[in-house]
Structure formats: structure tokens, C-alpha cells
Amino acid sequence: MQERKLISHDPATGTYTFYVDNPDDPSTYFVEKYVDPDYLQDMLDYNQAQYNAAPTAWGDGQVVARIPNHIFYHWQKQGYDDAKINSMLNDPEFRKFRTRPGKI
């Protein structure tokens, strides 16, 4: 079994980063990221509370969604641009990331 060494922990994002030796090539290594599921659930619960308490009026600088970094970066790797992500956030399937009702 590979030994993982903790490199960092970011309590603000619930992310742990580990260094892992590559058993197939000792000159290389892996970096693994792990996101605490409790952090994710807390974020989604907070988003829901913000969504339910949000006023109907919109203005400049309003936070309309909170997306965990690892999900946002995965979407970027998939080639999703801002228009695609906005469209996804308007879809009820992704409502858990929204902090305000309405259309982006």
C-alpha cells in the first residue's frame, strides 16, 4: 500500500492535499486532493439557506452560486466556458450550488 504524506490542509475549502510516491517510477510522484464530505454538505446546506433567504431584487455584485473548487476546475478541464457554467447553474439539477433564485 502506498504511503500518503499530508502536504497541506485548507480549512476554508475543506481540502487536503497529499504527496504519494509512484511505485511504478520512483522518480515521479502523485499529488492527491481529498475534499471532506462534511465540508461539502455544510456548503450545500449554507447555499440552500442563502437561497431561501435571498431577496427577489437583484443588483451588482450579488453572489448567485458557490461551487466547490474541485468541481469548478473539473468543469473547466471539460472545456466548459462561463456561458456553459451559467447555463448549468440555471438548470434545476445544479440548484444546490445556487445562493439566489432567478436566471443568471
- What are the tens digits of pLDDT across the range 22-66? 778 877 777 777 777 888 888 999 999 999 999 878 888 889 999
Domain co-membership, 72 together with 30: no
- Which pLDDT score is estimated for 2? 66
Domain co-membership, 31 together with 50: no
Domain co-membership, 8 together with 43: no
Measured from the Cβ of residue 48, the count of other Cβ atoms closer than 10 Å reads 14
Domain co-membership, 30 together with 45: no
Domain co-membership, 6 together with 41: no
Domain co-membership, 78 together with 29: no
Range of the domain at 22: 1-35
Domain co-membership, 88 together with 44: yes
- Which pLDDT score is estimated for 31? 75
3 state SS of 58: coil
User: Which of 2-11, 58-67, 87-96 has the largest mean confidence?
Assistant: 87-96
- Residue 37 sits at the vertex; the CA angle it makes with 34 and 38, to the nearest 5 degrees, is 130
Domain co-membership, 30 together with 48: no
Q: How many folded domains does the chain comprise?
A: 2
Would the pTM of this model clear 0.85, i.e. be above it? no
Domain co-membership, 75 together with 27: no
